[in-house]
């Protein structure tokens, strides 16, 4: 058959075009749904903030990495406690902060226990927020045990982002993570309880997919227990339509009083975590910018402004929600993002030849820029760079170096340990003393104030040039 027959050709092209249009439309709609969500979009997290309201004190399961004195460790780091709020207090807090931090676009309920073990408080809070602040996205994070019962309610309230923590799909492994669950008013111990939890989690995935609610899965990486099996979890959740996988490190210390902490269970090293995330990355979108924030977190993901808004403080503050002002701020952010995207596009190199990869530690206050003094950084964003790409791969928390002269030596040792696998540090300024210490460890400091990708590309070019010159000199003297 003549494949160029006008009739066949046209109808075929037309069908292909329709499919392509439909896919593009779907992608555009998907992009719009996550564009201002700092957890679902890595790019958005440079510009938009989230806040949590701690309205859910009870939990219906026990995880061995959790101590009930603290917030839900599925979506938080152990060792921090939030003040529990009533739905009315929580809604007031949101309306105050929506005015003070207009780039705050998402309100999440993530504890201190499980939101769906406290459905009344959780849904009343969301309903109050939706009524007064319709532009704010609603988000919740759960262990999944009660989720299948509430998918209709979640849909009805337009809660478009739901996280389920799934640490395993194998009841034997699960029995080493969860000692018991509370189900139909009874405590069910061991594997019997775990089986119910795992089944309900899978049911939840299915129900969210059918309801077209964006689902993120969190998994806590526990070396020696589930680390070898998270690839299976990754495959399964992908098949069940999860949008994003967030593999988080177990944070475990005896002072947290958790079963794992008291029994010496360690968390993964940054290298182990990255290796597992890389292994899963071929399968689906991986979240690497999670900060394991607390159940009353406020601000950009890398910052913690919760202490500015304690109950005592925010209850004295007037509501300042102003939709028009918020939209204006968001429009400005979007224009800035467009500019940045164009600059980043210009930074990409067309070469397809494999080139050496290096890791860079970046000090940033947000906005997608290298814009922070080395001494003020409380964390470094880690980028993997080669001649073609500049890719965000994680972050490392550190105590900040500038302590007014006290404790700087110990802090510097901790920083060197945290970023010891990086070849360079990009920051807006750095003193001569830390510069020297970095160089002694083979880490090159680099001062600049610009888009992260632009500075990383500049560093890479200079770094490779120097490396070539050194190699050449060595060869010459042989
Ligand atoms: Fe909160 Fe979670 Fe929603 Fe984000 S956090 S409920 S999805 S708005 Fe984000 Fe915080 Fe990580 Fe959670 S950085 S712990 S992934
Ligand atoms: Fe703790 Fe959260 Fe696990 Fe409940 S689900 S036991 S609050 S970590």
pLDDT in tens, 133-172: 999 999 999 999 999 999 999 999 999 999 999 999 999 9
Q: State the Cα–Cα distance between residues 88 and 324, nearest whole angstrom.
A: 24
Centroid of ligand 1 to alpha carbon of 36 (angstroms): 13
Q: Which residue is closest in CA terms to ligand 2's atom 5?
A: 143
Q: State the Cα–Cα distance between residues 297 and 324, nearest whole angstrom.
A: 25
pTM over cut 0.85? no
Q: What is the structure's pLDDT at 268?
A: 95
Q: Which residue is closest in CA terms to ligand 2's atom 4?
A: 59
Q: Which residue is closest in CA terms to ligand 2's atom 3?
A: 63
Task: Write the CA distances from 332 to 16, 102, 133, 256, integer angstroms.
Answer: 37, 11, 20, 42
Q: Give me the residue label for tokens 């770094």.
A: 463
Task: Write the CA distances from 284 to 204, 274, 393, integer angstroms.
Answer: 19, 15, 15
- Judge contact between 431 and 445, C-beta under 8 A: no
Q: Pocket residues for ligand 2 (CB within 6 Å)? A: 59, 61-63, 66, 72-74, 113-114, 143
Centroid of ligand 1 to alpha carbon of 359 (angstroms): 25
Centroid of ligand 2 to alpha carbon of 473 (angstroms): 58
Testing ligand 2's pocket by substitution, the residue of 52, 60, 61, 250 carrying the most ligand atoms inside 8 A of its CB is: 61
Q: Which residue is closest in CA terms to ligand 1's atom 11?
A: 290
Centroid of ligand 2 to alpha carbon of 147 (angstroms): 15
For residue 68, which atom of ligand 2 is closest to its CA? Answer: 1
Quick one: which H or E segment has residue 92?
Answer: helix 87-100
Q: What is the structure's pLDDT at 468?
A: 72
| Residue 379 DSSP SS3 | strand
Question: Which stretches within 348-428 are classed as H helix?
Answer: 408-418
Centroid of ligand 1 to alpha carbon of 290 (angstroms): 7
Where the chain has pLDDT below 50, the residues are: 1-12
Six-digit token string for 155 = 């849909």
Q: Give me the residue label for tokens 């929600």.
A: 321
Question: Which stretches within 282-351 are classed as H helix?
Answer: 311-314, 323-347
Q: State the Cα–Cα distance between residues 153 and 151, nearest whole angstrom.
A: 5
Quick one: which H or E segment has residue 222?
Answer: none
- Judge contact between 213 and 162, C-beta under 8 A: yes
Centroid of ligand 2 to alpha carbon of 268 (angstroms): 20
Six-digit token string for 144 = 């999944």
Q: What is the structure's pLDDT at 282?
A: 74
Nearest Cα neighbor of 248 from 277, 268, 219 is: 219
Q: State the Cα–Cα distance between residues 57 and 71, nearest whole angstrom.
A: 9
| Residue 434 DSSP SS3 | helix
Q: State the Cα–Cα distance between residues 181 and 61, nearest whole angstrom.
A: 4
């Amino acid at each position: 058959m003549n494949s160029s027959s006008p009739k066949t050709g046209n109808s075929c092209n037309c069908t292909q075009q329709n499919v392509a249009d439909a896919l593009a439309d779907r992608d555009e709609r998907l992009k719009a749904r996550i564009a201002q969500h700092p957890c679902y979009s890595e790019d958005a997290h440079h510009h938009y903030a989230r806040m949590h309201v701690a309205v859910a004190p009870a939990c219906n399961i026990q995880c061995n990495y959790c101590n009930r004195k603290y917030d839900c460790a599925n979506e938080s780091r152990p060792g921090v406690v939030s003040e529990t709020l009533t739905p009315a207090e929580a809604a007031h807090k949101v309306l105050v902060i929506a005015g003070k931090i207009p780039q705050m676009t998402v309100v999440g309920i993530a504890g201190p226990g499980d939101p769906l073990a406290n459905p009344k408080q959780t849904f009343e809070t969301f309903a109050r927020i939706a009524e007064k602040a319709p532009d704010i996205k609603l988000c919740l994070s759960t262990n999944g045990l009660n989720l299948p019962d509430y998918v209709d309610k979640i849909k009805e309230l337009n809660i478009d982002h739901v996280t389920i923590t799934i640490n395993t799909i194998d009841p034997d492994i699960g029995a080493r993570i969860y000692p018991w669950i509370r189900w139909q008013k009874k405590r069910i111990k061991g594997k019997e309880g775990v089986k119910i939890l795992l089944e309900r989690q899978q049911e939840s995935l299915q129900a969210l997919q059918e309801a077209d609610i964006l689902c993120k899965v969190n998994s806590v990486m526990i070396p020696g227990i589930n680390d070898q099996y998270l690839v299976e979890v990754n495959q399964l959740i992908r098949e069940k339509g999860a949008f994003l996988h967030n593999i988080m490190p177990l944070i475990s210390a005896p002072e947290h009083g958790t079963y794992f902490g008291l029994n010496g269970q360690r968390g993964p090293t940054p290298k182990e975590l990255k290796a597992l995330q890389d292994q899963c990355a071929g399968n689906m979108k991986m979240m690497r910018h999670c900060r394991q924030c607390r159940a009353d977190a406020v601000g950009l993901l890398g910052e913690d402004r919760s202490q500015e808004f304690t109950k005592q403080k925010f209850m004295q503050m007037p509501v300042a929600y102003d939709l028009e002002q918020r939209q204006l701020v968001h429009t400005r952010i979007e224009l800035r993002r467009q500019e940045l995207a164009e600059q980043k596009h210009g930074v990409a190199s067309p070469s397809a030849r494999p080139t050496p990869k290096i890791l860079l530690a970046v000090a940033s206050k947000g906005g997608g820029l290298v814009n922070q003094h080395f001494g003020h950084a409380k964390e470094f964003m880690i980028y993997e760079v080669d001649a073609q790409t500049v890719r965000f791969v994680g972050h490392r928390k550190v105590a900040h170096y500038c302590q007014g002269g006290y404790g700087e030596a110990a802090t510097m040792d901790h920083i060197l340990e945290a970023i010891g696998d990086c070849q360079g540090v990009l920051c807006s300024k750095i003193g001569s003393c830390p510069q020297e210490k970095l160089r002694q460890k083979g880490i090159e400091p680099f001062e600049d104030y610009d888009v992260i990708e632009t500075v990383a590309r500049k560093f890479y070019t200079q770094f490779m040039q120097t490396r070539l010159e050194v190699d050449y000199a060595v060869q010459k003297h042989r």
